[in-house]
Amino acid sequence: MSQLRLKNLALGELERDVLALLWEQGPMNPGAVHDQLHRGRKVSVNTIASALKRLCDKGLLARMKVSHAYVYRPRVTRSDLERQLIGAVADQFGDSAERGGGGGLLAAFVDLAEQQGEDTLRRLEALVAERLAATADAESKGENDTSRGPSR
Amino acid sequence: MSAIVESLSVAVVAFGLICWLTVVFLSPSTPSRQQANRLPIATFRRRLVARAWLWAPIWGALVLTFSALASSSAGLVLASADHCLSHVTNAHTHHLCLAHPYHASTTVWPWVFVLSILSILAIRVAIVGWRLRVDGRVGTSLAGLSTTMADAPDVRVIDQVEPLALTIGWRRPAIVISQGLIDSVRPETLGVVIAHERAHVALRHNRAGLWDRLMASVYPRVVAEPLLASLVLAREQAADAAAAKVAGGPLAVSQALTEVARLRMPGPQLASAHGVGCGALEVRIHSLLKPPASTSRWLILPVTVVAGLVLLGAGPLLPLVEDLLTYLAH
C-alpha cells in the first residue's frame, strides 16, 4: 500500500465510523451505509455520500459504479491504516521542533525517536537487577528476623 | 491616553525583542549545553528552567516594562519635584512615564514597528498551530480506530505488533496501547505503563506541551529543540514519579522502563554498541532510583536573574527603549 499524505490520515468521526463499517461488512453503496449509521446519529444520505467521496479522495476507499450508484470498498486494511498513523505519530517525535512533536500533542512511555544504545540499556538493566536483588535480600532478612521473634 | 498605549506597546515589544535575542544567543542550544539537560536534576527545577527560557520574551518583557515604568513613576509616590530626569536633560525625549506621557507621535512608525514584529510572530505561531491541528487529528484518528481495553475503559488498544504506549491529544487525551505491548510484557509492567499514561492525562501534560510548542515556534529550531526536549523529559519524570506512587514504587517503574526499552531495541545488527542513546531513559531511571537531593540553593540563580532584569529595565535598557521611542516617533 502506498504511503498516504499526513493530512489524509486525519479522519473525522463519521469518516472513521464509515471506514469501520466497510472493514466489517465489506463493499457498500451510500444508501446501505446510511441505513447502518443513521440510527446512532442524524445524518443524511448526502452527508454519508460526501464522507465516502472524501475517503475516496484520500485514497482510503475505492469505488466502482454498479447500476446507478457507486459501491465503495476499503483500499487499506485497519492494520495498514493503524501502521501509517503510528508512523505519522512517531514522526511527531522524531521531528519535534518543526512539527510540534513530543512536546506537542502526545507523550510516549519510552521516547519513540530515541535510539537505544545496547551498552547503556544493559548497564541500566544491571542496575535495576542489582537494586531488585538488594531489595529481595533486605526483605528476606526482615522475614527471618520476624520469624525468630524478638531477641531477649 | 493614545500616547500611553503607543509608548507601552513599543516598550513591551522592544523589551520582548531583547529577551528573544537573549534566549537565541544564551539558551542551552549548543551540544555541550544539551548534555546539561541530561543531568540528574529535580523535575521541578528542570521544568522551571526550561520554561523560563522558553517564555522569556513574554514574562521578561512584562518584568522589564514594569520595572521601567516603576522607576520613572517612582517620583509620583515619593512626591519629588520632577521624577523624570529626561525632563531636565532633554525635554524632547519620549520617555516611559505614566504621569507625563509624551504626545502621540505624528508618524506611523511606532505602530509599524509593533505590528510588523507581532505579525511575524503571529504567522509563525499560526503555521505551527495549523500543523499541530493536523497532527492532533491524526492522533485522534488513531485513538478512534482502537478498541476499549476490557478491564480499563479509559485505555484504548490498537491491533499492532510494535510495542507502543501513548497519550494522544490535548482536549480529551486518550491512552493508546498496542496489543504487541500487552502480549509482550509482564502484568506488573503493563500496570506501570497504564499508571504512567494516566499520570500524563491527570497532570494535563499534553495541554502544557501544546502551549510550549506554540511558544517554541517563535525561535529558530536549534534554540527550540533542546528546550522542548528538556520539557518533555521533565514531563516524563513527573509521570514516572506519579506512577511509582500507585504502581509498585520507583524500582517497579525502572524495571518497566528497561523492559519496554528492550522490546523497542532494534535487532542485534542494528543496535548501537557504544551506547550513544538512552540519554533520557538513563536520566529517568537514575532519577527514580537515586532522586536528586532536594535543595533550594539553585533558586538563587533565577531570583538573581529576575532582580537583574528589574535593574536592567530600570537602568541601562530604559534609555535604550526611550531612544527607540524617540527615533520612531520623529
Mean of the pLDDT values across residues B81-108?
A: 63
Q: Is the pLDDT of residue B147 over 90?
A: no
B24 or B5: which leads in pLDDT: B24
Q: Does A106 lie in the same domain as A95?
A: yes
Which residue in chain A has the smallest CA separation from B265? A116
Give the per-residue pLDDT at A103. 45
How many A-B residue pairs are in contact by the CB < 8 A criterion? Answer: 211
**CA B141 → CA A25, A51, A133, A140, B215, distances in Å?**
20, 15, 44, 50, 26
A126 in any annotated domain? yes
Give the per-residue pLDDT at B273. 31
pLDDT bucket at B271, cuts 50 / 70 / 90: very low
Q: Do B164 and A112 touch (CB under 8 A)?
A: yes
Distance of alpha carbon B281 from alpha carbon B260, whole angstroms? 11
A152 in any annotated domain? no
Distance from CA of B52 to the nearest CA of A (A): 16
Contacts of A20 in chain B (CB under 8 A): 145
CATH code: domain of residue A61: 1.10.10.10
Give the per-residue pLDDT at B274. 31
Q: Do A108 and B165 touch (CB under 8 A)?
A: yes
Q: Is the pLDDT of residue B230 over 90?
A: no
Q: Is the pLDDT of residue B284 over 60?
A: yes
User: Using CB atoms, which residue from A105, A117, A132 is nearest to B136?
Assistant: A105
Give the per-residue pLDDT at B272. 32
Q: Do B139 and A110 touch (CB under 8 A)?
A: no
CA B142 remoteness from chain centre: 27
Substitution target in A18, A81, A110 with the highest count of B β-carbons within 10 Å is: A110
Distance from CA of B125 to the nearest CA of A (A): 11
Q: Does A122 lie in the same domain as A111?
A: no
Distance of alpha carbon B165 from alpha carbon A128, whole angstroms? 21
Q: What's the domain range around A19?
A: 6-76
Give the per-residue pLDDT at B195. 95
Distance from CA of A151 to the nearest CA of B (A): 32
- The mean predicted confidence, pLDDT, of chain B is 82
Q: Residue B326: how many CA atoms within 13 Å on its side-chain side? A: 14
Distance from CA of B304 to the nearest CA of A (A): 29
Q: Do B166 and A16 touch (CB under 8 A)?
A: no
Q: A54-68, B22-36, B194-208, B278-292 — which is least confidently predicted?
A: B22-36
Residue B228 and residue A102 in contact, taking contact as beta carbons nearer than 8 Å = yes
Q: Is the pLDDT of residue A39 over 60?
A: yes
Domain count, chain A: 3
Distance from CA of A152 to the nearest CA of B (A): 35
User: Using CB atoms, which residue from B139, B142, B280 is nearest to A82?
Assistant: B142
Which residue in chain A has the smallest CA separation from B268? A118
Distance of alpha carbon B301 from alpha carbon A71, whole angstroms? 68
Q: Residue B63's closest CA among B326, B325, B292, B306?
A: B306
Distance of alpha carbon A42 from alpha carbon B185, whole angstroms? 43
Q: What is the CA radius of gyration of chain B?
A: 25
Please identify, among A48, A76, A104, the residue that sits at the C-terminal boundary of a domain. Answer: A76
Q: Do A107 and B265 touch (CB under 8 A)?
A: no
Q: Do A81 and B145 touch (CB under 8 A)?
A: yes
Q: Is the pLDDT of residue B320 over 60?
A: yes
Contacts of A106 in chain B (CB under 8 A): 139, 166-169, 206
Distance from CA of A72 to the nearest CA of B (A): 19
Q: Does A82 lie in the same domain as A109?
A: yes
Contacts of A116 in chain B (CB under 8 A): 261, 264-266, 271-272, 277-278, 281
Q: Is the pLDDT of residue B103 over 80?
A: no
Mean of the pLDDT values across residues B13-23?
A: 93
A1 in any annotated domain? no
Please identify, among A53, A76, A99, the residue that sits at the C-terminal boundary of a domain. Answer: A76
pLDDT bucket at A107, cuts 50 / 70 / 90: low
Q: Does A94 lie in the same domain as A120?
A: no
Q: Does A70 lie in the same domain as A132?
A: no
Give the per-residue pLDDT at B275. 31
